[in-house]
Homo-oligomer: A and B are copies of this chain.
Amino acid sequence: MKDVAKDANVSVATVSNYINGKKVRPEVEEQVRQSIEKLHYVRNAAARALKTSESKYVVFVLPTVWSPFFSELTFWVQQYLNDMGYKLILSVSENNYSKEKSYVKMAEEQRVAGIISISYSDLNSHVPANIPLVSIEKDDTGMFPLVTSNNYDGGKIAASEFHKRGVTSAIYAGTLHEEFSPMIARKSGFIDQCNNLGIHYSILDVPSSKNTEDFHKFLNQLSESVKDKEADFGKLGIFAYSDEVAIHIKEKLDEEKIKVPEQVQIIGFDGSKIYPNTKLTVSSIRQDVQQIANKATEILDKQIKGNSEREASRIMVPVNFQQGLTTTSI
């Protein structure tokens, strides 16, 4: 910049002003422009950040990007942030607590503008209250804004859709250990509505899908359960707490020659498409991913700009049912 100033016969301040769009005399403006061009000058963001103590980085902490839901979410979050002039530091935690913490530490060192986090641990409680943060899905501290799908409603919708399709007996497939708020809400909604509609239900514990052995055990248990129920009750529906689990269940039932959706119907949760224009394979309660990203980034931006007085808002985004190949058409 000093070089540019010298080359253009002006002071550094003038160059700085020009770059930052302040008023400069047209002749000077032209001269500076040329000098910048000539010397291939690009301003040093680190120096600017140091001086202004402002940053345009946002850290996005999430368990993975390798799933339809998270990749779509990442897509939208990046898009919105980019449109608002932020840069996104992708921080994949794999639900690893120490990784999560290292990302927070990094965020502090970088003096980032803010953090968007999806964490099922108590990560938020390690974030200093002075750094803008918005959580997606879960925030138990109550100190930060939260954007989440209406999980309870999603559970209810699933039960209702089953009911419309003649289901009289249902299985809820979810995690019982590691219970955390969004999952609990999905279950409660489902159960409550089952009770309302007179659907008989039972609950099956799903182990983490990473653990192949346990997961196979679960699938076996499930298909036994399905065979039992088929004899005892009428039409059967399985509500899985995620599409990933729903897909695995469908694959298992296919193997067992149990016809989906004729004999058993399945509804998953998330409803993200693998590509922007693809059909859903499993029927699902779709989270409005774009809306979640939109709200989260918007709220973060406001927080950064200081217009919002950390009210720790709770935003609930509506979900809806999406017909896939695992429920009968009505």
Contact = CB atoms under 8 A, between A and B. Distances in A.
Interface in A63-99: 64-68, 70-72, 74-75, 78-79, 82, 87-92, 99
Given A75-B92, A92-B75, A210-B277, A105 B67 contact: no
Nearest to A272: B66
Nearest to A59: B87
A316 interface: no
B87 A106 contact: yes
A329 interface: no
A276 interface: yes
A259 interface: no
Which among A44, A46, A106 has the greatest number of chain B C-beta atoms within 10 A? A46
A61 to B, nearest CB: 12
Nearest to A68: B274
A276 B94 CA distance: 12
Contacts of A231: none
Contacts of A72: 66
A307 interface: no
Nearest to A67: B275
Interface residues of A, number: 54
Interface string A205-221: 00001101000000000
B109 A44 contact: yes
A45 interface: yes
A45 B110 contact: yes
Contact of A89 (B40, B87, B111): B87
A251 interface: yes
Contacts of A105: 42
Contacts of A275: 66-68, 209, 244, 247
A278 B71 contact: no
Given A46-B46, A65-B71, A274-B274, 18 more contacts: A42-B109, A43-B109, A45-B110, A46-B110, A50-B50, A65-B65, A66-B71, A66-B72, A67-B275, A70-B71, A71-B71, A71-B74, A74-B74, A87-B91, A87-B110, A89-B89, A89-B90, A251-B279
The 4 closest A-B pairs by CB, nearest first: A71-B71, A46-B49, A66-B75, A45-B109
Interface of A: 40, 42-47, 49-50, 53, 55, 57, 60, 64-68, 70-72, 74-75, 78-79, 82, 87-92, 99, 105-106, 108-111, 128, 209-210, 212, 244, 247-248, 251, 274-279, 281
9 contacts: A42-B109, A45-B111, A57-B89, A66-B74, A67-B71, A74-B74, A88-B89, A209-B277, A251-B279
